């Protein structure tokens, strides 16, 4: 038995060792990493709460502001 910690891949739940050699950690492979990225990009994964916009984005969304 290894003394290295084991975690479940967030995508497929396969157990993987948390080691510096595992360049995809916390994922088991590149495929699972890209699946997760796609979920964030398509808003399948979200962080709960109200959206927060920086000044540039808020200005772009405010129809009362005029651009120069």
Binding residues for Zn(2+): 9, 12, 28, 32
In sequence order, what DSSP letters do the residues of 17-61 get, joined into one string?
Answer: E--TT-TTTTSSSHHHHHHHHHHHHTTSS---S-----HHHHHHH
Residues annotated within a binding site = 9, 12, 28, 32
């Amino acid at each position: 038995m290894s003394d290295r910690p084991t975690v479940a891949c967030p995508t497929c739940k396969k157990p993987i060792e948390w080691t510096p050699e595992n360049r995809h950690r916390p994922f088991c492979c590149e495929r699972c990493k890209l699946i997760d990225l796609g979920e964030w990009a398509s808003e399948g994964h979200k962080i709960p709460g109200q959206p927060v916009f920086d000044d540039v984005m808020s200005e772009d969304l405010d129809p009362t502001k005029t651009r120069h």
